Structure 1
Amino acid sequence: MTFTLITREPGKLELTVQTAGITMPSLKIKLHEAWYESSFLITGYHVCEEDNFSGELERQG
């Protein structure tokens, strides 16, 4: 099971499943205050596809 919890509020939580046909014990968690970097602007990732590379592969070793 995968779930996403979005909050900025610290504190104790108890997560339960209310979907018919799914049983799971409650999950008790404690969220602490989040720390945020005020100068953080953007994160970027560049992932190349193998098709972008041409030529023969080189063996190392």
Structure 2
Amino acid sequence: MVTRVTCPTCQKEVEWGPQSPYRPFCCKRCQLIDLGEWASEEKRIPGGESDTPPDFDDESASI
């Protein structure tokens, strides 16, 4: 039984296996398009406030 998935970029059907090195993408081009969308923050994982603590100004920082 062959597992088939849909390319997230172009919606083309892709066979899931060693013969498809860019899976779940159909080709390197679709993989790079997706990477570019993440890098330019067109895609992001939804979430709440940042877990990073707020920046402190120089006066409030004591060492």
Q: State the structure with more CA Rg.
A: 1
Flag the structure with higher strand content: 1
The normalised TM-score by structure 2 is 0.22
The structure, 1 or 2, with the larger RCO (C-alpha pairs under 8 Å, 6+ apart) is: 1
Flag the structure with higher helix content: 2
